[in-house]
């Protein structure tokens, strides 16, 4: 079966703490794309990152970083020095070569950042 698992349903942190959101996927395909999206309380899905399965370089964008490990089928997302504005639901998703352009989403992790 091909699926995306986000085992953390909800995480609460205090502002300025670092937090890592886990994403594990299953696929028999060797070619796929991985994504992270943010869904703030307003409801709109906001694109954060896309990563090709052949590119295992980690990526950093400001306070955000992503760790892609093909050996463990994981694509984890870390927010450094979290802020209240980071409070949202975060979704990991995949597109496999055999599924055209259909995004398969995980169930999401709700992140609550408090003062």
| Residue 100 lies near other proteins (rule: CB under 8 A) | yes
Residue corresponding to tokens 């609550």: 112
The answer to whether the beta carbons of residues 3 and 25 sit under 8 Å apart is yes
| Residue 35 lies near other proteins (rule: CB under 8 A) | yes
- The only residue of 5, 24, 105, 110 in contact with other proteins, by rule CB under 8 A: 105
Q: Which stretch binds other proteins (CB under 8 A): 55-63, 64-72, 78-86, 96-104?
A: 96-104
| Residue 107 lies near other proteins (rule: CB under 8 A) | yes
| Residue 103 lies near other proteins (rule: CB under 8 A) | yes
The answer to whether the beta carbons of residues 16 and 35 sit under 8 Å apart is no
Q: How far is the CB of 52 from other proteins (least distance, A)?
A: 8
Cα radius of gyration (the chain): 14
| Residue 62 lies near other proteins (rule: CB under 8 A) | no
Q: What is the DSSP letter of 17?
A: -
Token code pair at residue 1: 């079966």
């Amino acid at each position: 079966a091909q699926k995306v698992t986000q085992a953390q349903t909800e995480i609460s942190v205090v502002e300025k703490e670092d937090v890592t959101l886990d994403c594990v996927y299953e696929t028999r395909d060797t070619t796929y794309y991985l994504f992270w999206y943010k869904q703030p309380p307003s409801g709109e899905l906001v694109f954060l990152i896309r990563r090709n399965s052949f590119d295992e370089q980690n990526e950093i964008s400001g306070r955000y970083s992503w760790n892609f490990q093909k050996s463990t089928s994981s694509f984890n997302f870390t927010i450094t020095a979290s802020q209240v504005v980071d409070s949202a639901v975060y979704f990991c998703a995949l597109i496999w070569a055999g599924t055209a352009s259909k995004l398969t989403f995980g169930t999401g992790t709700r992140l609550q950042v408090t003062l």
